[in-house]
Amino acid sequence: MTTAVTPAEDTLAAQSTPEGDASPPAAGEATPQPTPEPAPDPTPTEAVEAADGLKEAVASKSETAGSFIETLDSWALTIGENRISVWDSLVAASVLLLVIIGAWFITRFIAALIKRASKLDSTQQLLLQKISTIIVWAIAFLIGIDILGIDLTALAVFSGAFGLAIGFGLQKTFGNLISGILLLLDKSIKPGDVISVTDGAGNESVGQIRKIGIRAISVITRDRTEHLIPNENLMINQVVNWSYSSRDVRVKAPVGVSYGSDLKLVEKLLYEAARDCPRVLKTPPPRVNLMGFGDSSVDFDLRFWIDDPEEGLANIRSDVYMRIWELFKEHDIEIPFPQRDLNLRTNQQFDRLIEALSGSSKNNQKSDR
């Protein structure tokens, strides 16, 4: 006898059967496979998030401007999962320009405040200006990135090559920047100092430091030539700083007189010559030293001090020498020049040459008569 099963009973039986007790499929039946869900289409991410917000704000105010912006936004370049359009580039350039202008004005304002700080010397003021400038520009960069909402992963493709280029290209720049800050910290080189400068031909001249920049210092010599010396060179090379601890510089002027001169009078005239030059300091006083007895002269050394080496050393030495020459002329002090005795050995050829010269001179005298 066949028993009919109602749909209700069938449903009840299905609910009462636990999932774990499900009977395996019969032999020959295919195992059902789960249907995979379709993967969503990848949509490129906007690299500049601020551009989208600004586009929506403009479009809500003006349809014409919105359509124009849509056109600019349609011209785009996709890098990986990021999308950069012409509109994104314009917004980024505008924001960066505003940030740069704002940072420039802030650095000028801070520099003006630092210059008013009378308790700080010029070196400390310059050091604070440089440190504040670095901090302001670093903050401005971070603010610009934050305002734009730039996804920095958009540059991941170029990060390796860009970092390598920065490492090689800006290595000297960062080295000179750190060297300039260290020079200002230990005050070994500061604006206004007078240092010795050697040009490419090896000629040494004295110049005054006008400015210490991020990359190099500016040194102006007496002939108004401006030398730009990298900061790193001043850290690793020997530098002669004429005004490191004091601006007083001693200048030497060696002088020689004949052996028949009155040495006491010579000493007095040398002191007078130094006192007659305005740039020579009265304190420390000049000093005249007798250095030795040379082959043809008695050698003196006039040493005097100046406090303005940036005005030149050769010119003050020239002024002192001119005054010495005038005083020696007034008092008949002779400045000797080297003299040598020449001894000639006689021989037949030399005697014939003398006779020939004598005969030619006699013939010339007869022809003149």
How does pLDDT run across 211-246, given as a tens digit for each residue? Answer: 887 788 888 887 788 888 888 888 887 788 887 777
- Do residues 204 and 198 touch, judged by C-beta distance below 8 A? yes
pLDDT band at 169 (very low <50, low <70, confident <90, very high): low
Please tell me which residue, 114 or 282, carries the higher pLDDT value: 282
| Mean pLDDT score, 278-304 | 92
- The C-alpha atoms of residue 218 and residue 229 are separated, in whole angstroms, by 7
Q: For residue 61, give the amino acid letter.
A: K
How does pLDDT run across 110-131, given as a tens digit for each residue? Answer: 888 888 877 776 767 777 887 8
Q: According to the model, what pLDDT value does residue 287 have? A: 94
pLDDT band at 301 (very low <50, low <70, confident <90, very high): very high
Outline where DSSP puts E strands in 190-284: 194-198, 204-212, 216-221, 226-230, 249-257
- The C-alpha atoms of residue 99 and residue 146 are separated, in whole angstroms, by 11
How many residues are present in the chain? 369
Using only the alpha carbons of the chain, give its radius of gyration.
Answer: 46
**In Å, what is the CA distance from 218 to each residue of 194, 225, 275?**
12, 10, 35
Q: For residue 197, give the amino acid letter.
A: V
State pTM to two decimals.
0.50
The two three-digit tokens of residue 67, written as one number:
């359509």
| Mean pLDDT score, 324-353 | 82
DSSP element (H, E) containing 159: helix 156-169
Does 369 score more than 50 pLDDT?
Answer: yes
Specify which of 43-47, 314-318, 345-349 reaches the highest per-range mean pLDDT: 314-318
The two three-digit tokens of residue 51, written as one number:
């551009």
Q: According to the model, what pLDDT value does residue 95 have? A: 78
Residue with tokens 């010396």: 229
